Amino acid sequence: MSVTRSAARSGAVIAASSGLLATAFAPGAHAVVGEGSNRLAKEVATAPAVQVANDARLKIESKAVKVTPAPEPEPEPEPEPAVETTASVTATSTAAEATPDYRSDGSIGAQAISIAMQYIGIAYAYGGSSPATGFDCSGLIKYVYAQLGVELPHSSSSMVATGYQVSSPIPGDIVWTQGHVSLYAGDGMVVEAANYGSPVRYTEQWQDYAVYIRPY
């Protein structure tokens, strides 16, 4: 058995039976090999006993712990709306000025030109009468006026017999010449599907000796 060095100068032993608390004070006691354990047993046996009641309670005071919740995160600021630069506003204004707005007139012919302008750039297709398939000259005019409730034939030769002829055209009138029709857009301009390789365009009227037909 190894030698144990004790740094304690007093000890306490609590008896768990019969409700007794026995306390032993052993000044200068040292654990030694052999008879040291017998000496400790004798000192414990001769230590004075203190009687404690069976229903004794040990009172322990404690303070309430107050917990402060963590603060809620602040909401992120909303992004500021984008501000249009002078260049973008100018570009938008220029594009709007380049394409005449005929809707302000309110007439059926003006509405027809406004609709036709939406299809500038659609490819030419012989017999075509919709943006999906392309347009030929009479197919474009038929499609535009159909959206305004005016039914027209899909033939330039037949369109000359629709509506009535006028001497001074206004926007929306049909510009008819043998084998071709276009829509008068005002100021000597027309909207037309001319031929293969030329998509629907807004251009100067090039038809000479044209007949002007108002189809409504």
pTM metric for this prediction:
0.53
Say yes or no to pLDDT of 4 above 90: no
CB atoms within 10 A of CB 142: 22
Specify which residues 192 forms β-bridges with.
Answer: 201
Phi, psi (deg, nearest 5) at residue 35: -75, 0
- Kindly report, as residue ranges, where domains of CATH 3.90.1720.10 are found in the chain: 101-214
Residue 49's H or E segment, with its range, is strand 49-51
Residues in the chain: 216
Report pLDDT digits (tens) over 65-101: 565 555 656 555 555 555 444 444 343 344 344 444 4
Query: Which two structure tokens, joined as six digits, stand for 131?
Result: 């943006």
Report pLDDT digits (tens) over 101-143: 444 445 899 999 999 999 999 999 999 999 999 999 999 999 9
CB atoms within 10 A of CB 17: 5
Query: Which two structure tokens, joined as six digits, stand for 189?
Result: 């301009």
Report pLDDT digits (tens) over 24-57: 334 444 444 455 556 656 665 666 665 656 666 6
Report whether CATH 3.90.1720.10 matches the domain 101-214.
yes
